Amino acid sequence: MIVGTTTWYCADGTISYFNPWSACNDFNTCPDASWKLSEDKSTCSRPNFSCLADPKDVSEIKLLAAIAYGEARTNNYEEIAAIANAIVRRRDSWDVSTINELVEKFPKFAQAARKQNERYRLIMCAPEDDPNYTIAYQAAANALNHGIDYANGGCFWDGNDLKSDGKKHDKYRAGFTYTSPEHNIFHTPEPPPKHRHSTHGVYNYAYESTAAYGSTIFWKYTSQFIHARGAKQCH
């Protein structure tokens, strides 16, 4: 109840203010964005998140679509596609045959899969032909077929936590540099050069940016870091 108004809770989950119950049908909206209004605007529905879709039991394209969609902060195709590119590059770097095997062996590499957030579960709990997630499957197919590389060689990514965590973020501790001002979408400064000595040399930054879309920045190891540490790209 909102003070000073009469509130009616309609059968379809909508709320009507000032109007009698008979006017409920004039308010064709769902409780929140997690619900979908039917075409005839009579009912609201949402995915059944009680499904137990195991990463081992779904197709590689479905799992990749779910992770990329779950990691993305928006429905920007380039953002989702770039994440899918980065995941496939990680798969290949770690010498595993499928994304399913990657998740099984390295469950912490993607927060969406590890925590099974809502966007991840939306795809995992829906059929592959669900039209609501076409862009996620298109992005996954592009990456699996080695199509356009939206990540531009990147295999790591960060969202707004790069800004919110500040100096506590692992990228700050390791050191990163922007290769283009356009990649600095969160307006966060580069940390000072580290000038760290390692087995084969010295490096200032471990990561360099490769692309940015929506709310995600993409990275790869710098050549300095790879040489100094004897590291393998994306590993």
pLDDT tens profile 216-226: 999 999 999 99
Of 31 and 153, more confident: 153
pLDDT tens profile 155-212: 999 999 999 999 999 999 999 999 999 999 999 999 999 999 998 999 999 999 999 9
Cβ burial of 54 (10 Å; 0-12, 13-18, 19+) is exposed
Residue 8, pLDDT above cutoff 80: no
* Extents of the domains making up the chain: 1-31, 55-144, 156-229
pLDDT tens profile 82-129: 999 999 999 999 989 999 999 999 988 888 888 888 899 999 999 999
Structural contact between residues 203 and 194, judged by C-beta atoms closer than 8 angstroms: yes
**Angle between the N-to-C axes of helices 134-144 and 60-71, in degrees from 0 to 180, rounded to the nearest 10:** 110
Tally of CB atoms within 10 A around 100: 20
Cα–Cα dist 104/112, whole Å: 14
Name the H helices within the chain.
Answer: 60-71, 77-93, 99-105, 111-115, 118-124, 134-144, 161-164, 170-174, 223-229
Would you state the pLDDT for residue 41? Answer: 73
Residue 13, pLDDT above cutoff 90: no
pLDDT tens profile 32-87: 555 677 777 777 666 555 676 789 899 999 999 999 999 999 899 999 999 999 99
Does domain 55-144 fall into CATH 1.10.10?
yes
Record the pTM.
0.79
Q: Residue 156 corresponds to which tokens in the numbers above?
A: 């790591």
